[in-house]
Amino acid sequence: MNLPVRCRVDDGIAILTIESPPVNALAHPVRQALLAAVVAAEADGAVRALLIHGAGRCFVAGADIHEFEAAPREPLLNDVLLRLEACTKPVIAALNGTTLGGGLELALACHYRCATAEVTLGLPEIKLGLLPGSGGTQRLPRVVGASVALDLMLGGTPIGAARAHELGILDRLIGGSDVLEGALAYARELVQARVPPRRLCAASVPGPKPDPAMFAERRARAAREQPGLLAPGYIVDCVEAAGEQPFAAALALSRRRFEECRVSVASRSLRHLFFAERPRAGPLPRPTARRVQRVAVIGAGTMGAGIAISLVTSGHEVVLIDPQPAAVAAGLKRVATILESAAAKGRMSAAEAAAAIGRVTSSAELAAAAPADLVIEAVFESMAVKREVFGALDRICRADAVLATNTSTLDVDEIAAATSRPAAVVGMHFFSPANVMRLVEVVRGAASAPDVVATALATTRHMGKLGVVVGNGFGFVGNRMLYAYGRENQLMLLEGASPAQIDGALRQFGMAMGPNAVGDLAGLDIGYRVRRERKDRPSDPRYYRVADALVEAGRLGQKTARGAYRYEAGSRDPIPDPDVDALIEREAASLGVIRRSFTGEEIVNRCIFALINEGARLLEEGVALAAADIDAIWCNGYGFPRLRGGPMFHADTIGLAAVLAGVEHFAGLYGAKDWAASPLLRTLAGNGQGFVEWDRARTAGARASGGSP
Ligand code: T1G
């Protein structure tokens, strides 16, 4: 096995190469090997300086995030860096690639730093609900001053090498792309000049002593901008201490604060989502995605235009096809308007926007899809219409074209059966607005070929989106869970909770929006039509009775200024409407529903436990491949609070035994039809396990058998 840190001496310079794919994370073996290499090089009489660099595309991308689930193991990174900084010979960091978190802390503990121009550096720990725990809060302010250090750590956004050089983080920019050659020359220069080790731990924070009011203002702003996180306020505390306390004392403070963040639910949730939102290596042999450059989008409505915008922004060529000339014109106009607006807001240059717009052509003829590598159908949500389109595409498109449907609930297998090539058909369920929402459910039909699914997944990634593979079935994963969550909302409306009370309780829980405000935003008529398309619509007359009554009363939501709420002209702010209360009371009376008051806790438990139970059922059925996938879907498609990690991670946090008890309690009150506990939930609760553990066991089992997770 390759050592994670190799050392060779070249003309008096000890070159330490960190090689621990994929990103040189400072896992325990790397820390052990780095410490040993530094101590050995320092003791080697032939060595006059040390040079540290990384193999591959990263210098070091940080600590190993996996390791944060357990107490840190010695040697702690903090201690390795203190020992490295104390080295009696000059230590030069040669940044060859991405340098983040612990990687930048490692570089700051070195005495001198150089990099090639394309390197990015940063302290993104805040995005994991952490603070730089290995000296970054102390060494960085000693280079750039308190205020810039706060900007870098509270924002967490990496900077380029040129900016880092301006700020003094880098001492030298190395020309060309081979950092090692340039860094070696720089190291020899330093040795020639007999420069001493330059230790930040011995330096002071430059500039005038900051006014305590500055820290107070940053603390208050951080609390406003990043509520629910310990790290922002703690970063301010640590940077303030950097200017007030001896280095060792302030460093110890940052270590204590790091540990508090590490064990917090918010940080554990964000670290869970970090991995949940990364593509998982699939089963061996991994299918190869087909090349996609030309895409035909069928349907120039809101979804089609949004999909086209995402595609051309990521460099694809798109032909937007719609038989209605007016729809094509409106679609093209929407594409141009949104891209020009993005340029006006500085999200892209005017040239990039113009080039993207130039990559869209249009046609009223389906035949224009003939040369496409990928077709994405986004026509009206009707099975008959979709089957007709796919039947025609089957006759028109290339034999190796991938045919995707954007359906949000219809049966992908039934659509595929309209063609002679069901293996080429896959679902790509974009979330609206498609040019904004990251999430895409990639729906594998029973016949979908693995490389067809891989092609759809690769295309979502190329579009900068989060593709999650799900199985076929009504509502796939996200919407099927939404119907369980929405069912409870609708029933509680009949039972006495107002739209504002339900939405308020779920907003308090952390949902971006309550279900009733979401319905008004999306349009209540959309769900109304979907429920009528369902072959398996529940017979319970209470099922979405309020939503149907609102639609039948012409209250479709924001677009009619009336829905579950009312809206003033030009405003999207929901205003409770007594007419809605009266409508609900009439419906409840007609159904014989006895109304009562509700607590916020019951509202949240009814909706969230229903969500979790449905998620467990989806895992049992194999429609969802992992609990982490469900969490990624609900945090990126439905506004579930990221600081709770998603519905399944949240279930683990409160304990599956508590969730099961809640589900069984509601089953006793409302019947087992809706509230029968998922067998998987019952099993895991009985074993004292969680969904994360279940995921790990399945992944380990799949890797062992070479099957799919
Ligand atoms: N730890 C463990 N695994 C990591 C990792 C990390 N820090 N970073 C990436 N990976 C894995 C990732 O899961 C994936 O695995 C593979 O590497 C490629 O990642 C002590 C406390 C570096 C910009 O927050 O931002 O240091 O799926 O798909 O798109 O004070 O990864 O192949 O099995 O994202 O090219 C701070 C996190 C940690 C950086 C590369 N550092 N990483 O992006 O590839 S906390 C970070 C990234 C810390 C110190 C503090 C990105 C990337 P797999 P990828 P990419």
At 120-142, the pLDDT tens digits run 999 999 999 999 999 999 999 99
Mean pLDDT of the chain: 95
Among residues 269, 304, 325, which one ends one of the domains?
269
Among residues 413, 441, 476, which one ends one of the domains?
476
Catalytic: 105?
yes
In a domain, residue 390? The reply is: yes
Q: Which atom of ligand 1 is nearest to the CA of 62?
A: 26
Is the pLDDT at 544 greater than 50? The verdict is yes
Output the pLDDT for position 707.
47
In a domain, residue 673? The reply is: yes
Asked if residue 585 and residue 498 are part of one domain, the reply reads: yes
Asked if residue 547 and residue 470 are part of one domain, the reply reads: no
Q: Which atom of ligand 1 is nearest to the CA of 123?
A: 36
CATH number at residue 426: 3.40.50.720
Angstrom distances, CA of residue 144 to CA of 95, 170, 172, 202: 18, 11, 16, 15
H or E segment to which residue 659 belongs: helix 656-670
User: Which residue, by CA, sits nearest to atom 54 of ligand 1?
Assistant: 278
CATH number at residue 133: 3.90.226.10
Confidence of residue 53 (pLDDT cuts 50, 70, 90): very high
Asked if residue 317 and residue 255 are part of one domain, the reply reads: no
Cβ neighbours, 10 Å, residue 55 = 18
Asked if residue 471 and residue 497 are part of one domain, the reply reads: no
In a domain, residue 282? The reply is: no
pLDDT above 70 covers what percent of the chain? 98
Output the pLDDT for position 112.
98
Please state the rounded mean pLDDT for residues 421-435: 96
The more confidently predicted of residues 76 and 382 is 76
Confidence of residue 331 (pLDDT cuts 50, 70, 90): very high
Among residues 476, 504, 524, which one ends one of the domains?
476
Please state the rounded mean pLDDT for residues 341-366: 96
Alpha-carbon gap, residue 695 to 626, rounded angstroms: 6
Asked if residue 252 and residue 319 are part of one domain, the reply reads: no
Confidence of residue 700 (pLDDT cuts 50, 70, 90): confident
Asked if residue 308 and residue 254 are part of one domain, the reply reads: no
Is the pLDDT at 36 greater than 90? The verdict is yes
Catalytic: 125?
yes
In a domain, residue 213? The reply is: yes
Asked if residue 156 and residue 45 are part of one domain, the reply reads: yes
C-alpha 61 to ligand 1 mean position (Å): 6
Please state the rounded mean pLDDT for residues 651-669: 97
Is the pLDDT at 663 greater than 80? The verdict is yes
Asked if residue 219 and residue 124 are part of one domain, the reply reads: yes
Output the pLDDT for position 71.
87
In a domain, residue 484? The reply is: yes
In a domain, residue 585? The reply is: yes
Confidence of residue 701 (pLDDT cuts 50, 70, 90): low
Query: Which one from 85, 105, 488, 587 is the annotated catalytic residue?
Result: 105
Q: Name 224's Cβ contacts closer than 8 Å, sequence gap at least 6.
A: none
C-alpha 74 to ligand 1 mean position (Å): 21
Residue with structure tokens 């731990």? 201
Asked if residue 214 and residue 238 are part of one domain, the reply reads: yes
Asked if residue 162 and residue 52 are part of one domain, the reply reads: yes
Asked if residue 331 and residue 240 are part of one domain, the reply reads: no
Helix extents (H) in 226-349: 231-244, 247-262, 265-276, 302-313, 325-344
User: Which residue, by CA, sits nearest to atom 18 of ligand 1?
Assistant: 22
Please state the rounded mean pLDDT for residues 554-573: 96
In a domain, residue 288? The reply is: no
User: Which residue, by CA, sits nearest to atom 2 of ligand 1?
Assistant: 64
Confidence of residue 709 (pLDDT cuts 50, 70, 90): very low
Sheet holding 120-122, edge to edge: 58-60, 98-100, 120-122, 159-160
Which range, of 11-20, 257-266, 518-527, averages the lowest pLDDT? 518-527
CATH number at residue 689: 1.10.1040.50
Asked if residue 230 and residue 304 are part of one domain, the reply reads: no
Query: Mind listing the pLDDT tens digit for each residue in 145-189?
Result: 999 999 999 999 999 999 999 999 999 999 987 789 999 999 999
User: Probe ligand 1: pick from 23, 104, 257, max atoms within 8 Å of CB?
Assistant: 23
Q: Name 517's Cβ contacts closer than 8 Å, sequence gap at least 6.
A: 499, 503, 564, 565, 574
Ligand 1: lining residues by beta carbon, under 6 Å = 22-23, 25, 58, 61-66, 77, 98, 100-102, 105, 124-125, 128, 130, 132-134, 136, 275, 278, 281
Output the pLDDT for position 706.
52
Is the pLDDT at 627 greater than 60? The verdict is yes
Query: Which one from 125, 277, 587, 614 is the annotated catalytic residue?
Result: 125
Residues spanned by the domain of 170: 5-269
Output the pLDDT for position 703.
57
User: Which residue, by CA, sits nearest to atom 43 of ligand 1?
Assistant: 23
Alpha-carbon gap, residue 678 to 490, rounded angstroms: 22
Q: Which atom of ligand 1 is nearest to the CA of 23?
A: 17
In a domain, residue 439? The reply is: yes
The tally of domains found in the chain comes to 3
Sheet holding 112-116, edge to edge: 5-10, 13-18, 49-54, 91-95, 112-116, 172-174
C-alpha 697 to ligand 1 mean position (Å): 22
